[in-house]
Structure 1
Amino acid sequence: MVIDIDELVRRNAEFAASGAFADLPILSSGNLRVIGCVDPRVDPSHVLGLSAGEAVIMRNIGGRVTPPALRSWAMLAKVAEARSNGRPQGDAHMVILHHTDCGIRDLVPFPDLLADYFEIPAAGLDTKAVTNPHVSVRIDVEAMKHTLPAGVQVSGLVYHVETGLIETVVPPTAGTKQAQPTGRYHNRLP
Protein backbone atom coordinates (compact mmCIF):
# COMPACT_ATOMS: atom_id res chain seq x y z
CA MET A 1 0.00 0.00 0.00
CA VAL A 2 1.32 3.39 -1.00
CA ILE A 3 0.34 6.26 1.29
CA ASP A 4 0.85 9.59 -0.42
CA ILE A 5 0.76 13.08 1.06
CA ASP A 6 -2.89 13.59 0.10
CA GLU A 7 -3.83 10.49 2.08
CA LEU A 8 -1.80 11.73 5.05
CA VAL A 9 -3.56 15.11 4.93
CA ARG A 10 -6.94 13.36 4.80
CA ARG A 11 -6.09 11.12 7.74
CA ASN A 12 -4.76 14.07 9.70
CA ALA A 13 -7.98 16.00 9.12
CA GLU A 14 -9.90 13.07 10.64
CA PHE A 15 -7.52 13.02 13.59
CA ALA A 16 -7.81 16.78 14.12
CA ALA A 17 -11.61 16.59 13.91
CA SER A 18 -11.63 13.96 16.64
CA GLY A 19 -10.02 16.35 19.11
CA ALA A 20 -7.99 13.45 20.57
CA PHE A 21 -4.98 15.70 20.94
CA ALA A 22 -6.77 18.52 22.76
CA ASP A 23 -5.35 19.48 26.13
CA LEU A 24 -2.68 16.77 26.20
CA PRO A 25 0.19 18.07 28.35
CA ILE A 26 3.81 17.63 27.33
CA LEU A 27 4.38 15.42 30.37
CA SER A 28 2.66 12.04 30.26
CA SER A 29 -0.32 11.43 32.49
CA GLY A 30 1.09 8.13 33.75
CA ASN A 31 4.35 6.88 35.16
CA LEU A 32 5.11 4.48 32.28
CA ARG A 33 8.16 4.84 30.05
CA VAL A 34 8.68 2.35 27.20
CA ILE A 35 11.54 1.65 24.84
CA GLY A 36 10.53 -0.59 21.97
CA CYS A 37 11.38 -1.53 18.42
CA VAL A 38 10.53 0.41 15.26
CA ASP A 39 9.03 -2.72 13.70
CA PRO A 40 5.56 -1.66 12.48
CA ARG A 41 4.06 -4.84 13.95
CA VAL A 42 5.19 -3.85 17.43
CA ASP A 43 3.86 -0.36 18.13
CA PRO A 44 4.07 -0.19 21.95
CA SER A 45 0.93 1.95 22.17
CA HIS A 46 -1.13 -0.70 20.42
CA VAL A 47 0.58 -3.76 21.89
CA LEU A 48 0.25 -2.43 25.45
CA GLY A 49 -3.15 -0.76 24.99
CA LEU A 50 -1.90 2.75 25.77
CA SER A 51 -3.78 5.95 25.02
CA ALA A 52 -2.25 9.15 23.66
CA GLY A 53 -0.38 11.01 26.39
CA GLU A 54 -0.45 8.08 28.81
CA ALA A 55 3.23 7.07 28.48
CA VAL A 56 6.53 8.26 27.08
CA ILE A 57 7.54 5.92 24.26
CA MET A 58 10.86 5.74 22.46
CA ARG A 59 11.48 3.43 19.54
CA ASN A 60 14.70 2.33 17.88
CA ILE A 61 16.12 -0.70 16.08
CA GLY A 62 15.38 -3.71 18.30
CA GLY A 63 14.11 -1.58 21.17
CA ARG A 64 17.65 -1.66 22.52
CA VAL A 65 19.20 0.28 25.36
CA THR A 66 22.07 1.93 23.50
CA PRO A 67 24.23 4.90 24.50
CA PRO A 68 22.17 7.23 22.25
CA ALA A 69 18.94 5.93 23.82
CA LEU A 70 20.32 6.59 27.30
CA ARG A 71 21.36 10.11 26.26
CA SER A 72 17.86 10.71 24.88
CA TRP A 73 16.25 9.54 28.15
CA ALA A 74 18.56 11.89 30.07
CA MET A 75 17.48 14.77 27.82
CA LEU A 76 13.81 13.87 28.33
CA ALA A 77 14.39 13.91 32.08
CA LYS A 78 15.65 17.48 31.74
CA VAL A 79 12.52 18.43 29.78
CA ALA A 80 10.40 16.98 32.57
CA GLU A 81 12.49 18.82 35.14
CA ALA A 82 12.06 22.10 33.28
CA ARG A 83 8.32 21.65 32.79
CA SER A 84 7.73 20.72 36.42
CA ASN A 85 9.96 23.37 38.00
CA GLY A 86 12.27 20.63 39.27
CA ARG A 87 9.57 18.72 41.12
CA PRO A 88 9.64 14.93 40.76
CA GLN A 89 6.71 13.54 38.80
CA GLY A 90 6.31 10.37 40.82
CA ASP A 91 8.03 7.06 40.48
CA ALA A 92 8.51 6.07 36.89
CA HIS A 93 8.33 2.54 35.53
CA MET A 94 10.60 1.85 32.57
CA VAL A 95 9.53 -1.05 30.35
CA ILE A 96 11.92 -2.50 27.82
CA LEU A 97 9.95 -4.25 25.09
CA HIS A 98 11.72 -6.65 22.74
CA HIS A 99 9.96 -9.05 20.37
CA THR A 100 10.24 -12.29 18.45
CA ASP A 101 11.15 -12.27 14.75
CA CYS A 102 13.01 -8.95 15.14
CA GLY A 103 14.74 -7.54 12.08
CA ILE A 104 17.86 -6.74 14.12
CA ARG A 105 18.76 -10.42 13.61
CA ASP A 106 19.17 -9.66 9.92
CA LEU A 107 22.04 -7.32 10.82
CA VAL A 108 24.23 -10.10 12.26
CA PRO A 109 26.14 -10.38 8.94
CA PHE A 110 27.06 -6.70 9.41
CA PRO A 111 29.05 -6.68 12.65
CA ASP A 112 30.60 -3.26 12.04
CA LEU A 113 27.16 -1.72 11.66
CA LEU A 114 25.91 -3.36 14.86
CA ALA A 115 29.09 -2.40 16.72
CA ASP A 116 28.58 1.23 15.71
CA TYR A 117 24.96 1.03 16.83
CA PHE A 118 25.88 -0.26 20.28
CA GLU A 119 29.05 1.88 20.41
CA ILE A 120 31.18 -1.16 21.28
CA PRO A 121 33.96 -3.07 19.51
CA ALA A 122 32.67 -5.69 17.07
CA ALA A 123 34.37 -8.37 19.19
CA GLY A 124 31.89 -7.59 21.99
CA LEU A 125 28.71 -8.13 20.00
CA ASP A 126 27.94 -11.53 21.56
CA THR A 127 27.31 -9.63 24.82
CA LYS A 128 24.28 -8.02 23.15
CA ALA A 129 22.43 -11.26 22.19
CA VAL A 130 20.88 -9.73 19.06
CA THR A 131 19.36 -13.05 17.98
CA ASN A 132 17.57 -13.88 21.25
CA PRO A 133 14.95 -11.44 22.58
CA HIS A 134 14.65 -13.23 25.94
CA VAL A 135 18.35 -12.79 26.61
CA SER A 136 18.63 -9.35 25.04
CA VAL A 137 15.81 -7.92 27.17
CA ARG A 138 17.58 -9.20 30.31
CA ILE A 139 20.81 -7.54 29.16
CA ASP A 140 19.05 -4.24 28.48
CA VAL A 141 17.14 -4.28 31.78
CA GLU A 142 20.43 -4.75 33.59
CA ALA A 143 22.01 -1.85 31.68
CA MET A 144 19.03 0.41 32.31
CA LYS A 145 18.85 -0.58 35.97
CA HIS A 146 22.31 0.91 36.54
CA THR A 147 21.27 4.27 35.06
CA LEU A 148 18.02 4.62 37.04
CA PRO A 149 17.82 5.98 40.57
CA ALA A 150 16.79 3.65 43.37
CA GLY A 151 13.01 3.42 43.47
CA VAL A 152 12.49 3.69 39.71
CA GLN A 153 11.29 0.33 38.42
CA VAL A 154 12.47 -1.34 35.21
CA SER A 155 10.86 -4.40 33.59
CA GLY A 156 11.57 -6.50 30.53
CA LEU A 157 8.87 -7.83 28.22
CA VAL A 158 8.98 -9.91 25.06
CA TYR A 159 6.14 -9.50 22.58
CA HIS A 160 5.36 -12.59 20.53
CA VAL A 161 4.43 -11.43 17.04
CA GLU A 162 2.92 -14.85 16.35
CA THR A 163 0.32 -14.65 19.15
CA GLY A 164 0.05 -10.93 19.97
CA LEU A 165 0.82 -11.66 23.62
CA ILE A 166 3.55 -10.22 25.84
CA GLU A 167 5.63 -12.28 28.23
CA THR A 168 7.19 -10.86 31.39
CA VAL A 169 10.83 -11.90 31.23
CA VAL A 170 12.11 -9.53 33.92
CA PRO A 171 9.56 -8.49 36.56
CA PRO A 172 9.79 -4.95 37.96
CA THR A 173 13.09 -4.36 39.70
CA ALA A 174 14.45 -1.14 41.17
CA GLY A 175 17.17 1.01 39.68
CA THR A 176 20.47 1.09 41.51
CA LYS A 177 22.01 4.47 40.68
CA GLN A 178 22.78 6.59 43.70
CA ALA A 179 20.88 9.87 44.05
CA GLN A 180 22.65 13.11 43.17
CA PRO A 181 23.97 14.95 46.24
CA THR A 182 22.51 18.32 45.22
CA GLY A 183 18.95 17.32 46.07
CA ARG A 184 17.76 18.57 42.69
CA TYR A 185 15.69 16.44 40.35
CA HIS A 186 18.42 14.66 38.36
CA ASN A 187 18.46 11.65 36.08
CA ARG A 188 14.87 10.67 36.71
CA LEU A 189 12.83 9.55 33.78
CA PRO A 190 10.49 12.15 32.29
Structure 2
Amino acid sequence: MNARKVTAKKITLVMVFIAVIGAYLLLILNSPDDSPQQRRVRLLCETDHERLLKAGREILSKGPDPKNYRPYGPIHIDGFPVPRGVPIPRIIWRIRPHAVLINFNGYLVLHMTEGLANYGVKVYPEGFKPPGDRFRYGHRELLPGLWYYDDRYRRDPGYNETIDEIIKTGKWPEPNDIDLRP
Protein backbone atom coordinates (compact mmCIF):
# COMPACT_ATOMS: atom_id res chain seq x y z
CA MET A 1 0.00 0.00 0.00
CA ASN A 2 2.78 2.41 0.92
CA ALA A 3 4.59 1.61 -2.34
CA ARG A 4 1.45 2.55 -4.28
CA LYS A 5 1.31 5.95 -2.62
CA VAL A 6 4.96 6.60 -3.44
CA THR A 7 4.41 5.56 -7.06
CA ALA A 8 1.29 7.74 -7.31
CA LYS A 9 3.22 10.73 -5.91
CA LYS A 10 6.04 10.18 -8.40
CA ILE A 11 3.61 9.97 -11.30
CA THR A 12 1.84 13.12 -10.12
CA LEU A 13 5.14 14.99 -9.81
CA VAL A 14 6.20 13.92 -13.30
CA MET A 15 2.84 15.02 -14.74
CA VAL A 16 3.07 18.41 -12.99
CA PHE A 17 6.65 18.84 -14.24
CA ILE A 18 5.61 18.03 -17.82
CA ALA A 19 2.64 20.42 -17.58
CA VAL A 20 4.87 23.26 -16.31
CA ILE A 21 7.42 22.69 -19.09
CA GLY A 22 4.62 22.52 -21.68
CA ALA A 23 3.08 25.78 -20.45
CA TYR A 24 6.48 27.48 -20.47
CA LEU A 25 7.18 26.35 -24.04
CA LEU A 26 3.73 27.45 -25.13
CA LEU A 27 4.36 30.92 -23.71
CA ILE A 28 7.72 31.18 -25.46
CA LEU A 29 6.39 29.97 -28.80
CA ASN A 30 3.41 32.32 -28.70
CA SER A 31 5.28 35.41 -27.58
CA PRO A 32 4.55 38.66 -29.45
CA ASP A 33 8.20 38.76 -30.56
CA ASP A 34 7.50 35.66 -32.63
CA SER A 35 4.45 36.98 -34.47
CA PRO A 36 4.56 36.98 -38.27
CA GLN A 37 4.89 40.77 -38.21
CA GLN A 38 7.86 40.72 -35.83
CA ARG A 39 9.54 37.95 -37.79
CA ARG A 40 9.15 40.02 -40.96
CA VAL A 41 10.72 43.01 -39.19
CA ARG A 42 13.59 40.83 -38.00
CA LEU A 43 14.12 39.44 -41.49
CA LEU A 44 13.93 42.82 -43.25
CA CYS A 45 15.65 45.10 -40.71
CA GLU A 46 17.72 43.16 -38.20
CA THR A 47 19.34 40.59 -40.49
CA ASP A 48 22.68 41.20 -42.18
CA HIS A 49 21.56 40.64 -45.76
CA GLU A 50 25.09 40.42 -47.14
CA ARG A 51 25.95 37.60 -44.71
CA LEU A 52 22.63 35.91 -45.45
CA LEU A 53 23.34 36.06 -49.19
CA LYS A 54 26.85 34.69 -48.68
CA ALA A 55 25.55 31.87 -46.43
CA GLY A 56 22.86 30.93 -48.93
CA ARG A 57 25.35 30.82 -51.78
CA GLU A 58 27.65 28.71 -49.62
CA ILE A 59 24.85 26.15 -49.20
CA LEU A 60 24.21 26.18 -52.94
CA SER A 61 27.90 25.62 -53.68
CA LYS A 62 28.12 22.67 -51.26
CA GLY A 63 24.74 21.18 -52.10
CA PRO A 64 23.87 18.78 -54.89
CA ASP A 65 23.18 19.85 -58.47
CA PRO A 66 19.41 20.41 -58.24
CA LYS A 67 18.81 19.53 -61.89
CA ASN A 68 20.31 16.05 -61.46
CA TYR A 69 19.51 15.35 -57.80
CA ARG A 70 16.90 12.81 -56.76
CA PRO A 71 15.79 13.83 -53.27
CA TYR A 72 14.66 11.28 -50.73
CA GLY A 73 11.68 12.06 -48.59
CA PRO A 74 9.15 14.86 -48.90
CA ILE A 75 9.37 17.41 -51.69
CA HIS A 76 7.99 20.90 -51.16
CA ILE A 77 6.45 22.99 -53.94
CA ASP A 78 9.55 25.24 -53.77
CA GLY A 79 12.08 22.40 -53.93
CA PHE A 80 13.67 19.82 -51.69
CA PRO A 81 15.20 20.14 -48.21
CA VAL A 82 18.93 20.76 -48.00
CA PRO A 83 20.57 17.32 -47.67
CA ARG A 84 21.90 16.36 -44.22
CA GLY A 85 25.57 16.52 -45.16
CA VAL A 86 25.37 20.19 -46.16
CA PRO A 87 25.99 22.51 -43.18
CA ILE A 88 23.53 25.36 -42.67
CA PRO A 89 25.25 28.53 -41.38
CA ARG A 90 24.18 30.07 -38.08
CA ILE A 91 22.77 33.27 -39.67
CA ILE A 92 20.15 31.15 -41.41
CA TRP A 93 19.21 29.35 -38.19
CA ARG A 94 18.84 32.75 -36.44
CA ILE A 95 15.99 33.83 -38.72
CA ARG A 96 14.29 30.51 -37.91
CA PRO A 97 12.98 29.47 -41.32
CA HIS A 98 10.41 26.72 -41.40
CA ALA A 99 12.15 25.19 -44.39
CA VAL A 100 15.52 25.59 -46.11
CA LEU A 101 14.93 24.34 -49.62
CA ILE A 102 16.96 24.01 -52.79
CA ASN A 103 14.74 24.75 -55.77
CA PHE A 104 15.07 22.53 -58.82
CA ASN A 105 15.97 25.66 -60.83
CA GLY A 106 19.10 26.15 -58.72
CA TYR A 107 18.28 28.75 -56.05
CA LEU A 108 17.79 28.54 -52.28
CA VAL A 109 14.48 29.28 -50.55
CA LEU A 110 14.37 30.24 -46.86
CA HIS A 111 10.66 29.71 -46.30
CA MET A 112 8.90 31.27 -43.33
CA THR A 113 5.29 30.51 -42.58
CA GLU A 114 2.83 31.46 -39.85
CA GLY A 115 -0.65 30.14 -40.53
CA LEU A 116 -1.72 31.86 -43.74
CA ALA A 117 1.35 34.12 -43.84
CA ASN A 118 3.92 32.72 -46.28
CA TYR A 119 7.05 34.77 -46.79
CA GLY A 120 10.81 34.46 -46.85
CA VAL A 121 13.84 35.08 -49.00
CA LYS A 122 15.27 33.49 -52.10
CA VAL A 123 19.02 33.33 -52.63
CA TYR A 124 20.22 33.10 -56.22
CA PRO A 125 23.69 31.95 -57.26
CA GLU A 126 25.87 34.37 -59.17
CA GLY A 127 25.06 34.30 -62.87
CA PHE A 128 21.60 32.78 -62.34
CA LYS A 129 19.57 32.59 -65.55
CA PRO A 130 15.78 32.59 -65.20
CA PRO A 131 14.28 29.34 -66.53
CA GLY A 132 11.55 31.11 -68.51
CA ASP A 133 9.94 34.40 -69.51
CA ARG A 134 7.35 34.27 -66.73
CA PHE A 135 9.84 33.55 -63.94
CA ARG A 136 9.52 35.82 -60.88
CA TYR A 137 12.52 36.30 -58.63
CA GLY A 138 10.45 37.50 -55.68
CA HIS A 139 8.56 40.63 -54.72
CA ARG A 140 11.39 42.86 -53.56
CA GLU A 141 15.12 42.82 -54.20
CA LEU A 142 17.07 43.30 -50.96
CA LEU A 143 20.48 42.86 -52.62
CA PRO A 144 21.48 41.62 -56.05
CA GLY A 145 20.82 37.88 -55.72
CA LEU A 146 18.69 38.16 -52.53
CA TRP A 147 14.95 38.60 -52.96
CA TYR A 148 12.15 38.90 -50.39
CA TYR A 149 8.80 37.30 -51.19
CA ASP A 150 5.51 37.57 -49.34
CA ASP A 151 2.01 36.30 -50.16
CA ARG A 152 0.54 39.59 -48.94
CA TYR A 153 1.76 41.29 -52.11
CA ARG A 154 -0.89 39.33 -54.01
CA ARG A 155 -3.76 40.49 -51.78
CA ASP A 156 -2.67 44.03 -50.94
CA PRO A 157 -1.72 46.38 -53.80
CA GLY A 158 -0.29 48.87 -51.27
CA TYR A 159 1.86 46.31 -49.47
CA ASN A 160 5.09 47.64 -50.95
CA GLU A 161 4.49 50.88 -48.99
CA THR A 162 4.07 48.81 -45.83
CA ILE A 163 7.42 47.12 -46.50
CA ASP A 164 8.99 50.56 -47.16
CA GLU A 165 7.66 51.72 -43.77
CA ILE A 166 9.04 48.62 -42.03
CA ILE A 167 12.48 49.11 -43.56
CA LYS A 168 12.48 52.85 -42.80
CA THR A 169 11.33 52.63 -39.17
CA GLY A 170 12.53 49.15 -38.21
CA LYS A 171 9.11 48.21 -36.83
CA TRP A 172 5.72 47.05 -37.96
CA PRO A 173 3.36 49.99 -38.67
CA GLU A 174 0.64 50.78 -36.16
CA PRO A 175 -2.62 48.80 -36.52
CA ASN A 176 -4.62 51.84 -37.57
CA ASP A 177 -2.20 52.46 -40.45
CA ILE A 178 -2.59 49.10 -42.19
CA ASP A 179 -4.63 45.93 -42.44
CA LEU A 180 -3.02 43.33 -40.14
CA ARG A 181 -4.49 40.23 -41.75
CA PRO A 182 -1.76 37.72 -42.77
Structure 1-normalised TM-score? 0.29
Greater relative contact order (Cα < 8 A, sep 6+): 1
Structure 2-normalised TM-score? 0.30
Bigger-Rg structure (1/2): 2
